[in-house]
Amino acid sequence: MTHSFPAPALAMVERMQAAAAANPAQAVAFQGSPGANSHRAACEAAPDCLPLPCFSFEDALDAVKDGRAASAIIPIENSQNGRVADIHFLLPESGLSIVGEHFMSISHALMALPHKDGSLGPFSVAYSHPQALGQSRHFLRERGIVPLSHADTAGAAAYVAEKGDPNVAAIAPVLAADLYGLAIVEDKVEDAHDNMTRFVILAREQLDPATLAGDTAMTTFVFEVKNIPAALYKAMGGFATNGVNMTKLESYQKGASFAATTFYADIIGAPGDPAVDRALEELAFHCKELRVLGSYRQARPRG
């Protein structure tokens, strides 16, 4: 879907896609235009990788499924603005496995084209990814700037450059201003300066939990409990009695019936640990469905 990228990003996208196509084993797919936060995350997590820009999260996951990339790096949650929309649906549906995680501090700038006299603003609207807009909502509200959604942060910067209207701004990483010829109006516009995003790394094959021996491991899974009273309470009991630390538990609705709730969970530990095995066995007893999405090395201590 190269045609979906804004024109100022196209040449870079095509060069990066060609490099990845020549060596898929080194390619890491990410969602967004060059200069997006996910681009930076890919380079931080795998410094020798060939970053492969993809227009949507689905495209990035498909690149791995189709063998055009060895892995994908996907943002899953932000410390300030919560989980990334749709990710909890996309991960289980993708058929891919989580093989790693990466945490990255996030900082954004307001950027735009200058007027002919060199001045900047005022701005009627600012484009960015919904996550970045949510992370900067107080900043925008105080200045009367209307937030408008775009597919990704760097793509928003490229779109503003393409649009050519100096009264329209973008919120994006500073790198995007350099790539697309925009001027920085104000840096660090996120409302909280301890802004952190957690990314997960996905591949076609799960890591063998035995390879994680000696390291602190995380395991991510999704499950749906039986539709009986106290099912969730009973399902969680095995983690308490076996001393397994659950660091995340979120619910989301699958389908339109509102009768079946699916849960997404992270625990510390991996299958092969007797306590984890017992807890997962007890969980499975109370579930209609249980699927482990992967075990991987912990990148940041919990608690």
Among 55, 153, 197, 263, the active-site one is 197
To the query of whether residue 123 is one of the catalytic residues in this protein, the response is no
Backbone angles phi, psi at 143, to 5 degrees: -105, 5
CA dist., res. 217 & res. 225, Å (int)? 25
Q: Which residues pair with 253 in a beta bridge?
A: 261
Among 199, 221, 223, 239, the active-site one is 199
Asked whether the beta carbons of 29 and 69 are under 8 A apart, the reply is: yes
Give the residue among 242, 234, 230 at the shortest CA–CA distance from 268: 242
Tell me the C-alpha to C-alpha distance, in Å, between residue 291 and each of 54, 135, 237, 239.
27, 32, 18, 16
CA dist., res. 22 & res. 237, Å (int)? 50
CA dist., res. 30 & res. 51, Å (int)? 7
To the query of whether residue 247 is one of the catalytic residues in this protein, the response is no
Tell me which residues are annotated as active site: 197, 199
